[in-house]
Amino acid sequence: LLTDSNLSDQERRKIHDWERALLQDIKESAVDLADLQSDKFDRATDDLDALYQGVCYPREGNLDGLCLDELDSAVGRQAGLLSGTDITKASELITASGNAYVNNSEFDWEALGNAVCRFGMMDTKVVKKEKKKPRRVLQDKNAQETQPSVYTAKKEDIQDAQARRLGILETAIKRESGQRVSFFDVVLDSSSFEQTVENLFDASFLVHNGSLGIGLDDTTGLPFLEKREDAVKDQASSGQCILSITPAQWEGLVDSQFTMLILTFFALLAAPSSAASVGRILHFSDVHLNISESFPAADNARIPIRYFQDAPLPLLESALLYAKEHVVADPELFLYTGDHAAHGLFTDEYIAKTVETNVHAMENYYPPKGQEGRLEATAIIGNADGNPDYHMEVTDPETESNPSIELISEVWEDSLTAANMDLLNRRGYLSYALDGKLHVITLNTVPYSPSHLPDTSKNPDPFGQFAWLDKTLAELQSAGKFAYIAGHVAPIVDSYGGNPQWHSKYIVKYKNIVGKYADVIKAQFFGHVHSVEFRVPVTSLDGPTGEDDTFQLLPMYITGSISPLFGNNPSFMVWDYDTETYEVLDYAVYASNIAESEPQLDWKLLFRASEAYGLKSLSLTELSSFVHRVEQNVSLVESYYWNMKARSPNARPCKDAVCYAKTLCTLKWWTTKGQYLACVDTAQTLIADTDSASVSPVDVVAAASGSSATDNKFAMNDVMMTIGATALATAVAVVCVALTVLMLRRAGVLINRSQYDTVATL
């Protein structure tokens, strides 16, 4: 309100001491002050002027006035004692005014005025005011006295004001297409400092009573406001803080905001005119829910969260709550890519109850809305959802429902249409319409796995799924529509040892289909391997590999898991896509480090692909360019490997040539294990041969992994050896599992939860 006087507190105290001394001197020198022959009065006023020349604060201004008043009163009291007929005093008055008037020069009115004030007020004739008699008014004796009403703020008025403030904030949040809004966007008024202060008060009030939450953005470090749900509001602790802002700070913020507006304006001018809004997909996978076999909720809550064990219910609910409150409250699609049940041998009842509990937990936070709103796609069956693991009867979908699927499908009766429910029970795969132009196709991938029981690898098309997929994509193509494909087990070789996750012949058949519809398929989402990965088609990197050159394969994306069974950090992903073209633009990975978060999990954004890998989008061109950059950059290899494990403290450091080679070869979408191992073996041999040369391991890996058409073709003996070894291992595994299950069922013995936890820990 007042300009700073630039005086220290010590200097101001000196002024107050001088003022008290001057005031005392005025009181004691009243006679001298009234004496026209003395300059005491002039010196006193000059001292006052000098003392308070730099008055800036109300306190000093008040003291200045008190001194002047005391000076005037002292002179007036002394002047009142003088006789108005005293000729001596009159002559003194004339003398004080100077002789200039007598000498025909300009009259010194200032000198006269200073002298006259010492004689006090002039005598005046007192005019007495006529007193008016009050008019008597007869009062009504029967009238009742009423007490004036006292205004008190009603609770409803306070609630209305609060609702108005919250309404303004909700509008801002919707405009930002998110769950939070910038703190400065809400409170900063570029045209008024006073309004900014009022906005600060409103915002702090809403934060104080729990209606709003305030925090710092992980990416920008700037404060944000977000609306709190009632449940969260009740749990929020009430606190106080001091918000301070000066006019200079306000001007600096306004200038910064204006600069950002200018930069944004030019960025929009430079951006393509076809830029569209961004949709979001929330992607969970591989919870492997670890619940008590006795099923009580209290027992489920007591299961601890540990690395190398499957996820208990509190871990899943913690991830869902964080996603709902801090990441995306209302995604266009909630996607779950399978494996609801924990690893182990359980009863049919336990498997069904686990799937039901897992789906209901997700629906509590993200309820399905069908075509009226957000789409839920959780009806994807994983290998762990069978009993035993990887078990699923392959039946004729034209004549009967599938008993393995019906065992767990009841939980989706309320969220699926009758037609889709029948399709799920008979075949295990579905097609949803996300909107008028985009469909989500979910696949039943369990029968394609080399671990599938019973062995149906001789079946060219289990459940007729390949024929259905080809037909569905062709129909979408003719209608000018697009598709996202999702499933549990990806048609790849894994990053652990290059083991094929589908039979190679099924991978080839899948590629033959999707390669024809590159203009329809916009993304492929899978899970299963508990690792954040993607695959880039080899043809896009090194030319043809013997398959039809006219096919255009697209990148494939694999998400991490909620289950920390393999020592990984529990994680989930959010995909950004263009709502006009449906191209996938970016993905973000959120995770929690269990070891550092006891007893409470600490979820946070780990990385965004665009920032971590320098990608403009997730297009084939961008990802192919990234693979080539990885071949020349050791730090990118290590970064990708570290992110695959969701930055778990249990991940082995990737510092040697073998890890470099495996990580780089994992980026490519191979069909067989032999192709993958050939890439890794060649790289290791080259590194060993050049160990003493001044060549970095990654340079050698780049040379080794750049396979040509000839390198990518299997020699016949490699093919036969791989097929033979795979067949033998599969046969032995099938026989062992079948005999074990048969013996356990006959004996009525099943592994209990405590035994399973011990085995999982080991």
CB 644: neighbour CB atoms within 10 A?
A: 24
Q: Are 291 and 353 in contact (CB under 8 A)?
A: yes
Domain covering 278-720 in this structure, CATH number: 3.60.21.10
Beta strands 584-591 and 333-336, pairing class: unpaired
Tell me the range of 172-176, 236-240, 245-249, 667-671 where mean pLDDT is highest.
667-671
- Report the pLDDT value the prediction gives residue 146, as an integer from 0 to 100: 64
Taking CB atoms within 8 Å and a gap of at least 24, the contacts of 689-694 are none
DSSP state at residue 616:
S
pLDDT band at 212 (very low <50, low <70, confident <90, very high): confident
Buried b (16+ CB within 10 A) or exposed e, 371-381: eeebbbbbbbb
Q: Which residue has the higher pLDDT, 373 or 508?
A: 508
Residue 227: which of 163, 316, 156, 317 has the closest Cα? 163
pLDDT band at 687 (very low <50, low <70, confident <90, very high): low
* Token representation of residue 645: 């494990």
Q: Are 534 and 557 in contact (CB under 8 A)?
A: yes
pTM listed for this prediction = 0.58
What is the spatial order of strands in the sheet that 333-336 belongs to? 375-377, 333-336, 278-284, 571-578, 584-591, 604-608
- Measure the CA–CA gap between 416 and 359, rounded to whole angstroms: 13
- Measure the CA–CA gap between 596 and 686, rounded to whole angstroms: 40
Residue 590: which of 578, 575, 610 has the closest Cα? 575
Lowest mean pLDDT among 195-209, 302-316, 553-567: 195-209
Q: What are phi and psi of 364, to 5 degrees?
A: -65, -35
Q: Find the farthest-apart pair of alpha carbons in the chain and give their distance in angstroms, rounded.
A: 142
Buried b (16+ CB within 10 A) or exposed e, 288-320: bbbbbbeeeeeebeebebbbebbbbbebbebbb
CB 413: neighbour CB atoms within 10 A?
A: 10
* Token representation of residue 298: 């209290």
Q: What are phi and psi of 236, to 5 degrees?
A: -70, 135
Q: Which residue has the higher pLDDT, 8 or 89?
A: 8
* Three-class secondary structure of residue 45 per DSSP: helix
- Report the pLDDT value the prediction gives residue 293, as an integer from 0 to 100: 79
- Report the pLDDT value the prediction gives residue 692, as an integer from 0 to 100: 43
Instruction: Give the residue extent of every domain in the chain.
Output: 9-119, 156-270, 278-720
Question: Which residues are within 8 A (CB) of 282 and not within 5 positions of it... i.e. 6 or more apart?
Answer: 323, 327, 328, 331, 333, 334, 335, 366, 572, 573, 574
Q: Are 603 and 592 in contact (CB under 8 A)?
A: yes
> What digits encode the pLDDT tens for the residues 146-157?
666 555 555 556
Percentage of the residues of the chain whose pLDDT score is greater than 90: 38
> What digits encode the pLDDT tens for the residues 311-351?
999 999 999 999 999 999 999 999 999 999 999 888 999 99
Is residue 549's pLDDT more than 70? no
Q: Which residue has the higher pLDDT, 429 or 751?
A: 429
- Measure the CA–CA gap between 317 and 210, rounded to whole angstroms: 22
Continuous segment of H or E residues that includes residue 575: strand 571-578
Per CATH, the homologous superfamily of domain 156-270 is Structural maintenance of chromosome 1. Chain E (1.10.10.580)
Report cis status (omega within 30 of 0) of the bond before 454: yes
DSSP state at residue 119:
G
Is 692 exposed, middle or buried (CB count within 10 Å of its CB: 0-12, 13-18, 19+)?
exposed
- Measure the CA–CA gap between 589 and 576, rounded to whole angstroms: 12
Beta strands 571-578 and 533-537, pairing class: unpaired
What is the spatial order of strands in the sheet that 521-526 belongs to? 430-433, 438-442, 482-486, 521-526, 556-558, 533-537, 668-669
Give mean pLDDT, residues 282-307: 86
- Report the pLDDT value the prediction gives residue 717, as an integer from 0 to 100: 43
Assign 3-state DSSP to the chain and report helix, strand, coil percentages, each to 5: 50, 10, 40
Lowest mean pLDDT among 296-305, 320-329, 553-562, 669-678: 296-305
Residue 264: which of 249, 275, 248 has the closest Cα? 275
First vs last Cα of the chain: how many Å apart? 71
- Measure the CA–CA gap between 740 and 762, rounded to whole angstroms: 21
Q: Which residue has the higher pLDDT, 283 or 97?
A: 283
Is residue 285's pLDDT more than 90? yes
- Measure the CA–CA gap between 292 and 754, rounded to whole angstroms: 10
> What digits encode the pLDDT tens for the residues 30-79?
666 666 566 676 777 777 777 766 666 666 666 667 666 776 676 666 55
